[in-house]
Structure 1
Amino acid sequence: MSKPQNNIPRSIKSFLSIQTMMGKMTMTRGKLVKTSLAGMVTFLLVTMSMFHIFFPARSVTLKPNDLEYHKTINERNALLNRHLEDLKNEVITPKNYYEKTTLLLSDYSQKIKTLNDKRDLLKKNLSFRGRTSLRFWIFIFGLVSALMFFSCKSLYDDIINGSNYGFQFVSLTGITVAFFWLIHLIFLTQKDFSENSYVLIISLCAWLATFFTYFLVKNYTYKDDIILKQLSLIDKIKTIHYPRVALKALYAERNDKAMLATDTVKENADAFDKDIVSTLKDV
């Protein structure tokens, strides 16, 4: 005796298959845009430290001035050695030696001062937020932002997986360190770091920001968990509950009799109610 399910029309099977596939492939345009933006922001946070290579290196910018400086120093030393040799060989008198070296040192002292002033100006123009250059600032900021992202992700995973507080403490420590350097990079300069008062203030701000971040991630995790449970219920309705009831209904409509099956419509309805009640209790 063949099973009753084998007598189901092919059109009904195709209809149920299409409904299931459409349910799994549905994604709103807004969700796609949101996912794309989140992916772009995540990529920037993780890879920002690599963008520093597109900015000129400090050593490259200062190199011409440094070469000219060393050339000037070598010229001055060569002339001093020549005057000293002339004095040893009695080509010039001690008085002439004194006059020549005094004039030479005065002349090159001004040249060296001009080169040093030019170098200081170049360094000032290259500096950014109290750091040696924008290139260096972006490099450090990128490393800190990557630390912040992975620490927050670790905290999210710890909460959603129910990890113990030891793992959460490690994640929170990473967030605190990231906040400390973010505040320092954005609002303070390198010279301010030597002040103990600044360090204490930054540490306090970092702990407060970490405290806020913890509850923000925890709240987001709770909402995300609710959404996942709701999506799981929707998926069960589309792939399990709806096909069972629709199959029996369509079979009865086509054949003017109930379909023989191991489960009844009432059992299907009870299973559906059980899943709904279970999901509502969790959320």
Structure 2
Amino acid sequence: MSVKERDPLTGHETTGHEWNGITELNTRVPRVIWWTIGISHVWALVYWVLMPAWPLVHTYTKGLLGYDQQLVVDDRVAKAYRQLETWRAPLTELPAHQIREIPEIMAHVNATAPALFGDYCAACHGTEAAGGPGFPSLVDDAWLWGGDAETIMETLRVGINAPHPESRIAQMLAFGALDILTRPQIRAVVDYVQSLSGLETEATPEVLAEGETIFAENCVSCHGEDARGIRDLGAPDLTDDTWIYGGDDATMFTTVNLGRQGWMPSFETRLSAAQRMMLTLYLQDLDAEAGE
């Protein structure tokens, strides 16, 4: 029987391996490691018996406890939806002014509506709802169809020039492209409309008078005799300083010459009635804050 070499310092046998004068010791595995391995094996056996563990051909072992994570998740989701319904129900049952009188509901609205706006509206109207060229501002009180809660809800539901069968329809005629007005006539009516909104124009009184006549003959049916727009038609007010596409000479000439037709999707199938009400309340609050 061979006697293995022992380390003179620790007394442990060596493995016979040496690297640069460093000898490897053949030490025993600590008992705590063996205890850990043993306990882990026992725990694994107990878990396999109590909990779902082994896959079978079409199912899996259910375990003695019958625990199912899918059932747990489904139960939690169902509870979450029930909690949602406790505060969402009034959003579909009460008018906006009554909802505003319920602090608990408005707390949820204020916490949820900004995310809804960011997901569904900000891409067109901007993160601050200030709009941009071709997309109306929602914080200037210049509502095309009206800013009351019922009207905003309906606009969100059916959209504008959208495929929805009840969609709001609005279109600016292409007076130049359809040969309704000549280029000088378009220039004259543009000067006249600019004068209505207080924009500076170099047009002579004669040109403005001609523009007024052209406006009366071609534009009042949509924008009204006072040019303040007709909300039932989605026609904008031309006497304020709010412009969807722009109030400069070139942009206004293009608008009258080639026409405009904006578009807004219908959210009836994309957002619930409660979500549309939350957005309505949020937009009204944004408009009110901007006007302060």
TM-score by length of 2: 0.22
Higher helix share: 1
